[in-house]
Structure 1
Amino acid sequence: MTDDHDGVRDLLAAWAFGTLSPAEEHLVAPHLAECASCAAQARRLRETVRLLDGPASNGLPGTPAAPRPPGGASDILAFARRLRPAAPPVAAHAAPYAAAVAGLKALLVEAEGRWGTPVVHDWDVHATVAHLLAADEPLAGRLGIAARVPPSSTGADADGSAWEDAWNRRSADVIVREHGRTPEETVADWAAQAAALLAAPEAHDPEPAGRATLLMGVRLPVADHFVVRAFETWIHTDDIGRALGLPVPPPPAVHLDRLVRLAVRVLGLALGPAAPPVLFAIAGGERWVLGSEDEPVRAELTLDPVDFCLLVGGRYAPDEVPHATSGDAGAVGDVLERAASLAWL
């Protein structure tokens, strides 16, 4: 076996992208043939690149060399996302969900052998994917897509229950059911359902996506429900990444803007027209007045866009999220509390 084990591991990201020099290939290839741990890591990295449609060298003379990836495997997700070509076209409202699905698929390659790692709530990695399988069901069903999981025997889908109760029971039932299957089977069903959503006419045509429908206690256009699915998929991808010690980049700026705009609209509806008016701003972005339109603004509140999404996603407590403020502290507190209360992720 070649004895430069650490040196080879530092070259695996470049190997996955096909950007090794001939001398490096001469070092890496024999080592991978003899070292099972490096060979397994190399396969996972190449699969990550494949799922993200990353560039690969074709060896043709005159082909421009691809940029060299970082040596550490922990940076490969961000690097691959920067280099991947555009995903198959969907309408702008479905693009954040398509990107979030691609990101989670790439991250899950690194979960091999670590499916039992605790993530969030009382879920491990396997259960978190099962939860997303359940979470995508309501929109899929509304679009005529057959469920991947049989109906719950506990009556979780029965009419007449508060949506939160029915939703929590359904999610728990799906998690229990999926823990009786392999993680690969769960991932395959989640990915197939996500692909069906992205293949639906509503993911490509703004006209049918414009009709409003009530899901998860909120009546929104189907287009906005695609953004909700992107929001939750990204939040749980970040959860899994933190659990596995792998950095997950935030959504691209254009997608993050859609998430923020939707969250601000839902927050405004939740506060209602009688709330003390607060000038709410996203750092480096837009400003909105939340609450009453008939009174002078009582306070100003500014949050980073990612921090705001994490607050709405339940990953920050109202008194912990970094923010800048002036004016009526009580009015600001109302906005932060209400934003945190929106979380069902």
Structure 2
Amino acid sequence: MTRKDHPHDLLAPWALRALPPEEDRLVPHHMADCEQCAAEAERLRATVRMLDGAAPTERADTRLAPPEALLARARARRAPVPPTAPHAEPYAAAVSALEALLGELDGPAAPWGTPVIHDWSVQDTVAHLIAADEHLALHLGLPANAPPTTAPAEGTGWRTAWASRTQRVIAHERARAPGDTVATWRAQANALLTAPEAHDPERAARPALLVGARLPVADHFLVRAFETWIHADDIGRALERPVPPPPPAHLWRLVRLGIRILGLALGPQALPVALTVTDATRTTEWILGSEDEPVHAELALDPLDFCYLIGGRTAPETVSRTTTGDEGTARTFLDRASRLAWL
């Protein structure tokens, strides 16, 4: 059975897990390319979970692998958040994934002090997200968290100011209970998701200069989604509790954001590279760099590998890729992509 149009009549039975296998496979493939249907399907799945009413631990879903089950439990537990516009949905999903993971860390022996990344523990990493989300929150008129923010000295670069603020927030949160740190992060995340800019595409289209990038507010929500997911992944790896990657529709939005930022970082003078990002659902190619020269190298990466690369979680020399053309140009391109990360 082939469906080239939006499979609206399949979404509800898919959410109820009532489709035969041959039609059940159509919906995820379509959602990988259609954010509208992906959003509607997720809304229907959330409604089904709400109507089920049973406790997540009493309703094991054998069709879900453990990481997906973790995410489903979190979304069932979290306080309802009004549906957002599509640009904020990846952030809402990333927040749910991290809430799921943190919700598993109960009791006095919870491993909050486990090293995660840099010199941060689990609690420190959540504190870092408080500081990182704060840039967008303040721009949207939301209140700052303690410790109070202070204007950086004139001439201070954004990376220096950003790192200083992160350290101040981490130091502050280390004096608090981990649960209080999580509550602060969750409250700020929910405030972002209920802000008018999370629901109004016109307001979200206005540009804002945050963390060194002048982007529409909608793209800054995607930046928040990227960073929340990557740190949830960091914590999950440290605790040996894997967190699922973003759904395909969300992952491809992060890829497109990364391509835009990478293109700006490379500038028009860089030796041109043809970058193909491909997985089982789609293949997309971009030409990045100078428009005045022929392509010097061609690279192909998986979308998740590309996100790990620009997120600083995979080294340029070890990222899984296929390359043709000039290897030196390809390596320079990969190195530049990996240095986009500030996470």
Query: In which range does the TM-score fall when normalised by the shorter chain?
Result: 0.7 to 0.9
Deviation at 1:110, TM superposition (A): 1.7
The change in CA–CA distance for 1:158 and 1:147 in structure 2 (over 3 A counts) is: farther
Aligned counterpart, 1:134: 131
Deviation at 1:247, TM superposition (A): 1.3
1:40-59 counterparts in 2 under 5 A?
Answer: 54=49
Deviation at 1:58, TM superposition (A): 5.4
2:339 and 2:333 mapped to 1: Cα distance?
Answer: 10
Does the Cα contact within 8 Å between 1:94 and 1:227 map onto a contact in 2? yes
2:117 and 2:325 mapped to 1: Cα distance?
Answer: 35
Q: What CA deviation, in whole Å up to 9, does each residue of 1:243-290 have, x standing for no partner?
A: 111111110111101100000011011111111111101023210001
2:235 and 2:47 mapped to 1: Cα distance?
Answer: 18
Deviation at 1:109, TM superposition (A): 1.2
Does the Cα contact within 8 Å between 1:143 and 1:200 map onto a contact in 2? yes
Deviation at 1:320, TM superposition (A): 1.1
2:49 and 2:229 mapped to 1: Cα distance?
Answer: 20
Tell me whether 1:298 sits opposite 2:291 in the alignment.
no
Does the Cα contact within 8 Å between 1:57 and 1:66 map onto a contact in 2? no
The change in CA–CA distance for 1:163 and 1:54 in structure 2 (over 3 A counts) is: same
RCO higher in structure (CA 8 A, sep ≥6): 2
Equivalent position amino acid for 2:244 in 1: P
Aligned counterpart, 2:99: 105
Deviation at 1:157, TM superposition (A): 3.9
Unmatched tracts of structure 1, length 5 or more: 1-50, 60-64
Equivalent position amino acid for 2:336 in 1: R
83-92 or 166-175, which deviates more: 83-92
SS of 1:131's equivalent? helix
1:123-272 counterparts in 2 under 5 A?
Answer: 123-151=120-148, 157-272=152-267
Does the Cα contact within 8 Å between 2:95 and 2:228 map onto a contact in 1? yes
Runs of 4 or more consecutive aligned structure 1 residues displaced over 2 Å after TM superposition? 51-59, 65-76, 78-88, 155-160
Q: TM-score, normalised by structure 1?
A: 0.77
Deviation at 1:295, TM superposition (A): 1.2
Unmatched tracts of structure 2, length 5 or more: 1-45
Does the Cα contact within 8 Å between 1:53 and 1:84 map onto a contact in 2? no
Deviation at 1:80, TM superposition (A): 4.3
Does the Cα contact within 8 Å between 1:94 and 1:223 map onto a contact in 2? yes
2:202 and 2:64 mapped to 1: Cα distance?
Answer: 46
1:68 and 1:144 mapped to 2: Cα distance?
Answer: 41
Aligned counterpart, 1:28: none
2:64 and 2:312 mapped to 1: Cα distance?
Answer: 34
Query: Of residues 294, 305, 308 in structure 2, which corresponds to 1:307?
Result: 305
Q: What CA deviation, in whole Å up to 9, does each residue of 1:63-94 have, x standing for no partner?
A: xx967348997773156479999963101110
1:223 and 1:268 mapped to 2: Cα distance?
Answer: 18
The change in CA–CA distance for 1:332 and 1:248 in structure 2 (over 3 A counts) is: same
1:98 and 1:220 mapped to 2: Cα distance?
Answer: 19
Aligned counterpart, 1:77: 70
Query: Of residues 312, 315, 335 in structure 2, which corresponds to 1:317?
Result: 315
Aligned counterpart, 2:23: none
Query: Of residues 112, 116, 119 in structure 2, which corresponds to 1:115?
Result: 112
Aligned counterpart, 1:336: 334
SS of 1:127's equivalent? helix
Does the Cα contact within 8 Å between 1:281 and 1:302 map onto a contact in 2? yes
The change in CA–CA distance for 1:281 and 1:114 in structure 2 (over 3 A counts) is: same
Q: What CA deviation, in whole Å up to 9, does each residue of 1:281-318 have, x standing for no partner?
A: 10232100010111111110011101110111110111
2:135 and 2:65 mapped to 1: Cα distance?
Answer: 39
What is the percentage of aligned positions where both structures have the same residue? 57
Deviation at 1:142, TM superposition (A): 0.4
The change in CA–CA distance for 1:330 and 1:199 in structure 2 (over 3 A counts) is: same
Deviation at 1:159, TM superposition (A): 4.5
1:307 and 1:193 mapped to 2: Cα distance?
Answer: 29
Aligned counterpart, 2:14: none
Deviation at 1:236, TM superposition (A): 0.2
Does the Cα contact within 8 Å between 1:210 and 1:222 map onto a contact in 2? yes
Equivalent position amino acid for 2:70 in 1: L
2:327 and 2:258 mapped to 1: Cα distance?
Answer: 22
State the Cα RMSD in Å. Answer: 2.8
